[in-house]
Amino acid sequence: RNSIELHGSPMTSKETSTTKRLWWVPGPLIIGAGPSGLATAACLKDRGVPYLVLEKDCCIAASWKLRTYERLKLHLPKHFCELPLMPFPQHFPTYPTKQQFISYLECYAKRFAVEPLFGARVDRAERDASLGLWRVRAGESEFISRWLVVATGENAEAVTPEIGGVAEFRGRVMHTSCYRKGDDFTGEKVLVVGCGNSGMEVSLDLCNNGAHPSMVVRDKLHVLPREIFGISTFGLSVWLLKWLPTRYVDWFLLLCARITLGDTEKYGLKRPKVGPLQLKSTTGKTPVLDVGTLAKIKSGHIKVVPNINRFTDKGVEFVDGRKEEFNSVILATGYKSNVPSWLKDEEFFNKNDGFPKTRFPNSWKGENGLYATGFTQRGLMGASIDARKIAEDIATQWNSKPKHLPCGLL
């Protein structure tokens, strides 16, 4: 059994003292049923270790199912995105669609019999030093386990910037997590705030569906072709990094970008002085892989505009003082980790950004049975690497430790 109920056991914490349903989880407790949590569960099952997955939403891969736009595709080739122990179907295209990826994840969960406890939003998790166990509170239940795997990922919560005057604006304002498809905005003037991969793709989707998008570019960014000489830019980079220093690979990527995309600075997209791979390594900022947006910018169908100073009743005022009217504003301002809001541990996770303090490849393991998967800033491939390591480490302990209830719970 994945968990055993200890009827009527009192739960006591620093915040409350009340009787709740108390569950003993013999194996690890995994928080989150996205790709990272599913991968960890599958790897544990493959090694014969029981587990329990807690998921706050009503389904697996909720971010993909409930909070992504319809035209979304994987930005990297499928072999870089498959989870451990199960490749993508051969008939899937190189860049699977959102629906294909969701189908893959559902088949993955079914194959490895991953059955999360849905609707279990974790309010608090902390280590009980007296028992040497992790106590995780979710609503009216508390779960206790030797191991805690944080798999809520880098994109748990939408980041919504505070912009003055938003209450005055008469149009729609939404985050990309609420955006679904461009034909909901046909004929409208739409301002997209943000120029990462999501901002670029949403702008393109709007343009292709008869809207008139403008895109706010606040910072310098690297735009690269998705493919170079018919080969995935990411795949080519991974291969080149086996033989060359990062600075030489960056030089090659920027040369290819200049040849295929031209001088992006002419269109308001200034490049950082640091190369794309070095920038990714030091800051986690991902280069944009162009899927057709740049051509629309060059043709004038997508306008590039400066940052917003404030909203007006009919639109916005930019930082250069110019005002423009818009029907809708879409915030492509990214996501963040929510770990600091519920995990009471300041040793492993940084309370400011919600990431492990130790970076990849050593970000997967903390102290006292605490683990993290999906915080590598290396996408699904990084999450899969974490999942394998975590399962191997826990399996070693599982096979050497007694399986009975700790005496403090009896």
What pLDDT, in 10s, does the model give residues 272-301?
A: 999 999 998 888 888 999 999 999 999 999
CATH value at residue 75:
3.50.50.60
Q: With a threshold of 0.75, does the pTM exceed it?
A: yes
**Same domain, residue pair 129 and 178:** no
- Give the domain-ending residue among 276, 304, 331: 331
CA–CA separation, 187 and 67 (whole Å): 24
Give the pLDDT score at 4: 60
**Same domain, residue pair 324 and 202:** yes
Note down the domain range covering 99: 4-156+337-409
Give the pLDDT score at 119: 95
Contacts for 330 with CB less than 8 Å, ≥ 6 apart: 174, 175, 176, 179, 190, 191, 192, 193, 202
Give the pLDDT score at 11: 43
CA–CA separation, 214 and 195 (whole Å): 10
**Same domain, residue pair 234 and 150:** no
List, for the chain, all residue ranges whose pLDDT scores fall below the cut of 50.
Answer: 7-17, 19
**Same domain, residue pair 40 and 90:** yes
Q: 343 by DSSP, 3-state: which?
A: strand
**Same domain, residue pair 109 and 50:** yes
**Same domain, residue pair 307 and 399:** no
Give residue-wise pLDDT tens across range 10-47: 444 444 445 478 999 999 999 999 999 999 999 999 99
Give the pLDDT score at 7: 46
Domain total of the chain: 2
**Same domain, residue pair 341 and 305:** no
- Give the domain-ending residue among 302, 331, 360: 331
CA–CA separation, 329 and 176 (whole Å): 10
- Give the domain-ending residue among 331, 354, 385: 331
Judge whether 105 and 60 are in contact, CB under 8 Å: yes
- Give the strand order in the sheet containing 370-372: 117-118, 52-55, 29-31, 148-150, 370-372
Helix axes of 35-46 and 98-111: crossing angle, nearest 10 degrees? 30
**Same domain, residue pair 137 and 225:** no
**Same domain, residue pair 324 and 353:** no
Give the pLDDT score at 14: 46
**Same domain, residue pair 143 and 169:** no
**Same domain, residue pair 254 and 360:** no
**Same domain, residue pair 317 and 348:** no
Give the pLDDT score at 404: 60
